[in-house]
Structure 1
Amino acid sequence: MAMFSDGESEDLVSEINVTPLVDVMLVLLTVFIVTAPLLMNAVKVKLPQASAEVAITTPKTAHISVTDAGDVFLDQERLAVEGLTTALGLLKQSHDPAVEIYADEHAQYGVVAKVLAAIQRAGISKFSFVMSPEARK
């Protein structure tokens, strides 16, 4: 941009404004960076065909219940929290179980935390908390 003082003549300035050019080039560069990884599958491979029937395997699920009194049950068998790691370790050896935790809403947090620690020490990574749905008003 040319600025003129009072004593200078007001001749035309013949400079190219490159800002719009740079903007367009950055947009194109961004588009190419995003689309290039999608086009990189250069090796042609004929994929095998499979039947539409999918075999669904469901892992054995272990159920851990924690009562409001602090009692812990593994598949309806009462256990001490300390023995839970050993029992879950035996389940882990036979197969890779998923664990569902049924904790009473009035159960102490410390007991539930010990159950979670026992699950972690047993090496089980698939666990979930089971809750009942809220009643609609």
Structure 2
Amino acid sequence: MAFGGFDQGDTRPLQSDINMVPLIDVMLVLLIVFMITAPLLTHSIKIDLPQASSAPNQEKPETVTLALDEAGKLYWNNEALDKATLPARLAAAAARTPQPELHLRADRGTRYEVIAEVMSEARNAGIEKMGFITVPEP
């Protein structure tokens, strides 16, 4: 950097730019330091791990089919069921481990209100997985 003196006879303008050479020198020194120390930080310990060849044990949960016909009758795994005993059956199924999946199978003419009530009772009993069974069109 240039500094102006007290002499008024100097007609050169003042220099106000930053001298970049010292900053570049510092940057190059830091780059060299990091290039030397980086390989030293990645030390690893070689260990001989045991090999295991077992597959995870996955159990398929049992499925419970709950059918609803157009008249509002319920069928638990193809057995006739009263509406009064449905909450007890759902609670017993929810208490099992692993919990079975509930598959709902309803007639085309079944009212949505009945299906919604059954789904609500199943959710209140603690059934986690529910699904609908449909017939695909040919």
Shorter-chain TM-score tier: 0.5 to 0.7
Q: Any stretches of 5+ residues in structure 1 without a counterpart?
A: 1-43
Q: How does 1:17-28 map to 2 (within 5 A)?
A: none
Give the match for residue 83 of structure 1: 85
Larger Rg: 2
Is 1:131 aligned to residue 129 of structure 2? no
Letter in 1 for 2:92: L
Q: Deviations over 1:23-42 (max 9, x none)?
A: xxxxxxxxxxxxxxxxxxxx
Q: Any stretches of 5+ residues in structure 2 without a counterpart?
A: 1-44
Give the match for residue 51 of structure 1: 53
What SS does the aligned partner of 1:81 have? Answer: coil
Is 1:120 aligned to residue 123 of structure 2? yes
Give the match for residue 72 of structure 1: 74
**Root-mean-square deviation (Å):** 2.3
Structure 2 counterpart of 1:98, from 101, 117, 121 = 101
Question: Against the structure 1 CA distance between its residues 133 and 121, is the aligned structure 2 distance closer, same or farther, given a 3 Å change threshold?
Answer: same
On the 8 A contact 1:66/1:102 being kept in 2, the answer is yes
